[in-house]
Structure 1
Amino acid sequence: MEENLHIVCPHCTAVNRVPQARLREHPVCGKCGQALFTGHPVTLTDASFEKMIARNDIPVLVDFWAPWCAPCRMMAPQFEQAAADLEPLLRLAKVDTEAEQMLASRHGIRSIPTLALFKDGREIARQAGAMGAADIVRWVRSKL
């Protein structure tokens, strides 16, 4: 029997059941009809963070960043490229620590950019500092 995975829609946050074997077939959300995977990081807020982390059956890599941070801005296109490489086996997301200060504080973010890898609703790895796309992909794969 084929395993169904719970995938949170990046657009409406509905939880979808998707057969694991069909992840690469461009599944769409059963509620809003939009693509479940876009090849781009999802922007998370305090309202969407917990659901995205807790309800996804795939790991979620979160980039904690701020608009005023030069290394964060330098890493942004690299993180975008990593999203294209890692989806649909992983969800990539971004949290603007300036706009979501309580969320950043709750997760103990002390420096930015910081990458935090979540699996099964809990953080399993963390890396501070800007990285290139290949380094992000390599780091994530080494942790899973």
Structure 2
Amino acid sequence: MKIMTGKVIDVAGWDVAAVIAEQRGLILFDLWSPTCAPCRALAPILDDLAADFVDELRICKVNVAVDEAIAKPFAARTLPTLALYRDGVEIDRVVGLKSRGHLTAWLESHL
């Protein structure tokens, strides 16, 4: 399953383990909930980052309130949580609302 770049993809109902295993390169999972104000504030930043890193990164949203089975393997205790994977392996994680500049520098450090 190839995930498109350039926009944030909602993976509700997907087999996230298969996405992680099959996807090559960087993939960022945004673990969020619609009741989480910092999560809602982060959404437009992630939209911008998806466009900025169109050739290097795929961004997927995981709504933990709707799909607990998908979210469970990520073991996120705080929202929002951003889990960064490369070639099927988690390489880093950021917890909480961060600025666009902070996230840009964080992602660039993994390119």
TM > 0.5 between the two?
A: yes
Q: Give yes or no for the alignment of 1:81 onto 2:74.
A: no
Q: Give yes or no for the alignment of 1:9 onto 2:2.
A: yes
Residues matched between the structures, number = 111
Q: What residue ranges of structure 1 are gaps of 5+ in the alignment?
A: 1-7, 11-35
* Structure 1 range deviating more: 100-109 or 87-96: 100-109
Partners of 1:48 and 1:91 in 2: how far apart? 16
| Aligned alpha-carbon RMSD (Å) | 1.5
User: Per-residue displacement from partner, 1:22-63 (whole Å, max 9, x unpaired)?
Assistant: xxxxxxxxxxxxxx33x2111113533122211111210111
Partners of 2:18 and 2:56 in 1: how far apart? 18
Report the structure number with the largest CA radius of gyration. 1
TM-score (norm 2): 0.89
Shift of 1:141: 1.7
> What's the counterpart of residue 63 of structure 1?
30
Query: Sequence identity of aligned pairs in percent?
Result: 33
Secondary structure of 2:56's match? coil
Match of 1:110 among 65, 71, 77: 77
- Structure with more contact order per residue of length (Cα contacts < 8 Å, sep ≥ 6): 2
> What's the counterpart of residue 43 of structure 1?
10
TM-score (norm 1): 0.70
